[in-house]
Structure 1
Amino acid sequence: MLGFALYFAFFRNAPNAPAPEKAPVEKPAKAKRPKEKGPARYLTVFEGKVIGIKDGDTFEILYDSIPERVRLAEIDCPEKSQAFGKNAKQFASDLCFGKTVTVASDGKRDRYGRIVGTITTKDGINVNEKLVKAGLAWHYKQYSKSKELAELENRAREKKIGLWADTNPEAPWEWRKGRRHR
């Protein structure tokens, strides 16, 4: 007890000895936070790098350091959980993932905020047309009057290429409608 009393009496308020100097510790750089989503940009023709393929007809393209989602115009690929959905996604990925592409759009966005447009690779490959030609997308006639896409789909059907090899392929818009009603 006497030791405690002496400690508190003499050392409790005594000035502390200066702490030895420590070498400054460098903090690791913090990862940059993504930019806040502001109002949607009005984009018609732009060039960017494909950084993601969500499914056969939805791409993520880095433009001006901001990712933009692009929905391919005039076509509709099978959904990922539909027959040939994974094939369409892989085909699209093989065509242009990690590459710089040009997106041409009328500036409109769909109800999910995606730019609706046509993607062309540096090699001049029209991705929208290539998917239809490979039998991995339907010509979306509800939103397109393109005679070229209609002809590409007809040729793929006749040759039973891709999804047209199935005896009764289900259009993605019909498949989605069926899922909504469940």
Structure 2
Amino acid sequence: MRNNSEEWTFGVTELEKGELWNGYVKNVVDGDTVDVSFNICGIQRVRLVGINTPEIGEGGYEEAKEFVNKTCWGEAIKLDVDDRRQYDPHYRILAVVYVKGTNLNEKLVNEGYAKAMYIPPSEFDCREWKVDYTHSQSSMLSPSPTQTPGFELLFAMIGVLAAMCLVKRGR
């Protein structure tokens, strides 16, 4: 359902901030998306906030999906929904998932199945989960790869070399 401000809602105007939601994982879509059953709200799609796993057809996709499947399929979980942005553009709930008290989002990063990816606004600072993270200025989760700081350095070096060549030609 949509409210007047075109924001996606979860049957209410806004989820309770600071509350943990209880549910069961009914389906693993991929390494960073699961379908969760809530007793009164049916099944909702949840995007694990602060991380990004490989997409279908990319190396590591099957491994990440299988890890999530083995870790939480059918398990009782707790969701800590992002208070700053509760839904992504695909109407998925953005949350940290806890399985038996363990932060699944962080575990995926630490085990090498996902990269930490901070997309503001977010109450969760995934940069604390691992030093190697990706920062996106975009407020939308995108299926395209996010540029990393290494690429910025490479492009800066190419720019400097190109400028040096132009200066040399001008002599």
TM-score normalised to the size of structure 2?
0.63
Equivalent-residue separation in structure 2 for 1:80 and 1:149 (angstroms): 24
- CA radius of gyration, larger in: 1
CA-to-aligned-CA distance 1:111-157 (integer Å, 9 cap, x gap):
111000000012x1110011001111011034464342233x48xxx
Where does residue 136 of structure 1 map in the other structure?
Answer: 113
% identical aligned pairs: 30
Which residue identity lines up with residue 33 of structure 2 in the other structure? Answer: T
Cα deviation for residue 174 of structure 1 reads 1.4
Where does residue 128 of structure 2 map in the other structure?
Answer: 148
State which of 56, 62, 67 in structure 2 corresponds to 1:86.
Answer: 62
- Would the aligned equivalents of 2:117 and 2:126 in 1 still touch at CA under 8 Å? no
The runs of 5 or more residues in structure 2 that have no matched partner are 3-8, 134-142, 147-171
Which residue identity lines up with residue 146 of structure 1 in the other structure? Answer: C
The runs of 5 or more residues in structure 1 that have no matched partner are 1-36, 155-171, 176-182
Where does residue 43 of structure 1 map in the other structure?
Answer: 15
Where does residue 115 of structure 1 map in the other structure?
Answer: 93
TM-score normalised to the size of structure 1?
0.59
- Would the aligned equivalents of 1:40 and 1:113 in 2 still touch at CA under 8 Å? no
Q: How many residues are matched?
A: 121
Where does residue 50 of structure 2 map in the other structure?
Answer: 74
Which residue identity lines up with residue 135 of structure 1 in the other structure? Answer: G
